[in-house]
Amino acid sequence: MNNAKPAYITLLLALLHGVAGISILVISSWFIAVSAIAPVGFNYVIPAVVIRALALLRIASGYASMWVGHNDLLARIANIRLSVFSQLENAQINEKALTTEALAQHTEELASRWIAWIAPLSSATFIFTCLCAVAVGFGFPGAGLLIALFVVWSIALVLQGIGALRIAKRATHANAQFRQGSTNFLNSSAIWHLSTAFTNMREGKTTCADESHTLQGPERDVARNLETAEASAPDINIKDVSAKVVWLEKIAQKNTANRMAWWFQGMAFLLVVLTMSGAFSIASALLFTPIAIVVPMVLLAAPDWAGNAFSSISKFAQYKQSVKALQQMKATPIKMLCEREINTAVTLTEFSVTGRRTSKVNTNLPARGVVCVTGSSGCGKSSLLQGFAGLLPAHGKRKIDGVNLPPGLVTNWRYVEQEPVILSGSLALNLDPAGRGISHSEFITLMQELGLEKLLPLTTWVGKAGRPLSGGERKRVALARAILAKPRVLLVDEPFEGLDIHTQHRVCTVLNRYAKDNLVIIASHVTPKALVVRKNVQLDGASIVTVNGDHRATL
């Protein structure tokens, strides 16, 4: 991921921008100093032209470095993302914490390393080195102090780098903790009202309501707010769940950069005073010549042109964290199995999904027709379907016509999720994501059969930032997508939820027709009468038989 070509042009332009800036400062201060005591016949045209030329150079390089840098950044983001994406072909990210947004952010962090910290840091270093070299080379008074500042700057950078890395690590940790804590907290919202702290708070409020009667209007609001703010510890774990740690780490990251910049500013000012007081200046040939004010000028301006390096270091720390996060990204490959014809039956023996305490299933499924898997929510209907399709690892055996099927995803079996994924894209793209070139008339007929005429035309953009779809519409679009892929086995999870009777009927008709030649397995807690069910698999009564979790379903 890191082997993209270095962004030399970005770097070069940033250097040019920085060098031009500092040169203007140096040359113009020298120029007016020299002008003040100018001997007759002093050639003032050249410096004046140089100053103006440098100004133009700085403006041009400023714009160019922004433009080129950004262009390069975008190209890099695209490249990194594409490579991450192709790495994930036929794979699953099995880390819950690594959300897609986090991944997007990490890739951006990775791509932006040139403009975020490499270019600013190297340009500051380069300028510092050049200045020291020039100052020493020409024997400017105060050159030693400039070198001292360079040393201090470098040490401060290293120190801050170490600190920033530590903070970034802590921030990542705090973030993960907040995610976990708040997920548990928010998921239990339905039982918050049962916690005593909450009921106490409510009673507390009613009792103190009378006291505040004397206050009027907004004042009372404020008083009320203060009271409630103090009494706010209203839930089981609401006290424990706080984003404060995350914020504090973020603020700390900024603060260390600011603090370092502040110390550096102090140091620069101290050196300015030292140079100007003459405490350190050794008798130099250039003492009291116009060129002598160059070093103090540079020192005085140092917080401006070298101080930004400290916030770049913070970005470096974030970059390191992103690299780590991307390296740690674990993707499990999904094994693909070639399709196989089913002549008589699919058999499941002692089949259960790994890691979930679902019951073991023994059943025989016909080669054609609708099979209905029923059971209460949480009994493992979805897991069973996903395990059957090969999307989840499972114990036990899947057999086709008595021949065992190794674990993996069968290429022409399709699973339609309970909460189906709608791709951000046109409707046609959603119906044919693999680009098999299915004819549009086929799309339209099926859409009409499923009662989705409202979504037409096929160019309608759906998904994020497109036409919003209701739960039922999403389900039917996903169902249409699966059916258009002509799978041998179609697994549908809760197809009837959120549909009115009429639409349920339409969906049943489509499913019945498809089941004539194929196996359709439906997990649902309702079975519409219109559905021609060939076999029913009842997953309920999945009570525990033995303590170690080895329980079986009554089929």
Partner 1 sequence: MIKEKIPSRQTLTQWCKEMDSAQSLGLRRSLMSQVAVKCLSLFSLIIGFYYFSNIAQDWVVNKTPATRGDIVGLSSCLALCWLFQGAFNALSSRGKVKALDKLEARLKQVFVARQHALIRQHSVYYWQTLWLQHIQAFTDWALEYRVQQMIAVIVPLLALAVIFYVNPVIGLGLLLTLPVVPLFMIIVGKGAAALHRKHFVALERLGSLFTDRLAALPMLASFQAHQKQTDLLKQASENLNARTMKVVSVAFLSNSVLDFFATLAVALVAVFIGFSLLGELTIGPTITLQQGLWVLLTVPLLLSEMKKLGQVYHQKAQAEAAQDELYPLFSIPIQAHAQDKTHSDEKVEGYFESINKRPSESLLTASNVNVFEMNASLYSSLSSCESETPVLLCADRLNVSKGDKILLSGASGSGKTLLLEALGGQRPASHKFNEPVVWITQHPVVTPGSVRENLCLDDSFTDEALNEVLQAVELGPWLTLLPYGLDTVMTDYPLLSGGEAQRLSLARALLRKVNIWLLDEPTAHLPDSQHHRLAQLINRLGENKTLIWASHKALPANWFTHFWAIKDGKVKVASMVSQNEDQEATNE
Interface with partner 1 in residues 39-58 (CB under 8 A):
42, 44, 47-48, 51-52, 54-55, 58
Q: How far is the CB of 239 from partner 1 (least distance, A)?
A: 9
Q: Which of 3, 37, 327, 439 binds partner 1 (CB under 8 A)?
A: 37
Distance between CA atoms of residues 395 and 533, nearest Å: 27
Give 391 or 507: the residue with its C-beta nearer to partner 1: 391
Written as one letter, the residue type at 178 is F
Q: How far is the CB of 410 from partner 1 (least distance, A)?
A: 9
The mark string for 319-358 relative to partner 1 (x by CB under 8 A, - otherwise) is ---------------x-x------------------xxxx
Q: How far is the CB of 485 from partner 1 (least distance, A)?
A: 6
**CA 18 to each of CA 135, 205, 283, 449: distance values in angstroms, whole numbers, following the listed order:** 18, 61, 32, 66
Q: How far is the CB of 232 from partner 1 (least distance, A)?
A: 5
Give 342 or 423: the residue with its C-beta nearer to partner 1: 423
CA 24 from centre of chain: 42
Binders of partner 1 among residues 90 to 109 (CB under 8 A) are 90-93, 99-101, 103-104, 107
Binders of partner 1 among residues 454 to 473 (CB under 8 A) are 461, 463-466
3-state helix, strand, coil in the chain (%, to 5): 55, 10, 30
Look up residue 422 and give its two tokens.
């709608």
Nearest alpha carbon to residue 110 among 77, 83, 140 = 77
Binders of partner 1 among residues 486 to 545 (CB under 8 A) are 525, 538, 540, 542-544
Q: Does 262 bind partner 1 (CB under 8 A)?
A: yes
Which residue is it, tokens 């080129």?
68
From start to end of 259-402, where are the E strands? 331-333, 336-337, 345-353, 361-366, 369-374, 394-400
Binders of partner 1 among residues 398 to 457 (CB under 8 A) are 409, 411, 413-415, 417, 420-421, 423-425, 429, 433-435
Q: Which of 18, 375, 451, 495 binds partner 1 (CB under 8 A)?
A: 375
Q: Which of 122, 125, 284, 289 binds partner 1 (CB under 8 A)?
A: 289
| Sole window of 32-40, 117-125, 338-346, 505-513 interacting with partner 1 (rule: CB under 8 A) | 32-40
Give 8 or 44: the residue with its C-beta nearer to partner 1: 44
Q: Does 59 bind partner 1 (CB under 8 A)?
A: yes
Q: How far is the CB of 551 from partner 1 (least distance, A)?
A: 9
Output DSSP code: residue 537.
E
Q: How far is the CB of 213 from partner 1 (least distance, A)?
A: 6
Distance between CA atoms of residues 52 and 71, nearest Å: 29
Distance between CA atoms of residues 475 and 499, nearest Å: 9
Give 356 or 506: the residue with its C-beta nearer to partner 1: 356
Q: Which of 9, 12, 28, 148 binds partner 1 (CB under 8 A)?
A: 28
| Sole window of 118-126, 153-161, 213-221, 396-404 interacting with partner 1 (rule: CB under 8 A) | 213-221
Q: How far is the CB of 542 from partner 1 (least distance, A)?
A: 6
Distance between CA atoms of residues 501 and 483, nearest Å: 21
> Parallel, antiparallel, or unpaired: how do β-strands 345-353 and 361-366 relate?
antiparallel
From start to end of 105-246, where are the E strands? none
Tell me the site size for partner 1, rule CB under 8 A. Answer: 165
Give 447 or 478: the residue with its C-beta nearer to partner 1: 478
Reduced to 3 states (helix: H, G, I; strand: E, B; else coil), residue 538 is strand
Backbone phi and psi for residue 523, each to the nearest 5 degrees, phi listed first? -100, 125
**CA 279 to each of CA 142, 270, 274, 276, 282: distance values in angstroms, whole numbers, following the listed order:** 10, 12, 6, 8, 9
**CA 429 to each of CA 420, 423, 442, 443: distance values in angstroms, whole numbers, following the listed order:** 15, 8, 14, 11
Q: How many CB atoms lie within 10 A of CB 179?
A: 15
Secondary structure in 3-state letters for 478-495: HHHHHHHCCCCEEEEECC
The mark string for 124-163 relative to partner 1 (x by CB under 8 A, - otherwise) is ----------------------------------------
Q: Which of 209, 330, 445, 554 binds partner 1 (CB under 8 A)?
A: 209
Q: Which of 136, 251, 282, 456 binds partner 1 (CB under 8 A)?
A: 251
Residues 233, 239: contact at Cβ < 8 Å? Answer: yes
Look up residue 393 and give its two tokens.
């690892």
| Sole window of 4-12, 37-45, 119-127, 154-162 interacting with partner 1 (rule: CB under 8 A) | 37-45
Which residue is it, tokens 């020493």?
136
Give 136 or 336: the residue with its C-beta nearer to partner 1: 336
Q: Which of 133, 136, 273, 456 binds partner 1 (CB under 8 A)?
A: 273
Q: Which of 8, 63, 138, 280 binds partner 1 (CB under 8 A)?
A: 63
| Sole window of 147-155, 195-203, 361-369, 441-449 interacting with partner 1 (rule: CB under 8 A) | 195-203
Question: Got the DSSP string for 75-137?
Answer: HHHHHHHHHHHHHTTTEEE--SSS-HHHHHHHHHHHHTHIIIIIHHHHHHHHHHHHHHHHHHH
Q: Which of 2, 3, 277, 439 binds partner 1 (CB under 8 A)?
A: 277
> Parallel, antiparallel, or unpaired: how do β-strands 91-93 and 489-493 relate?
unpaired
Nearest alpha carbon to residue 14 among 51, 50, 64 = 64
Give 97 or 133: the residue with its C-beta nearer to partner 1: 97
Q: Which of 15, 22, 124, 300 binds partner 1 (CB under 8 A)?
A: 300
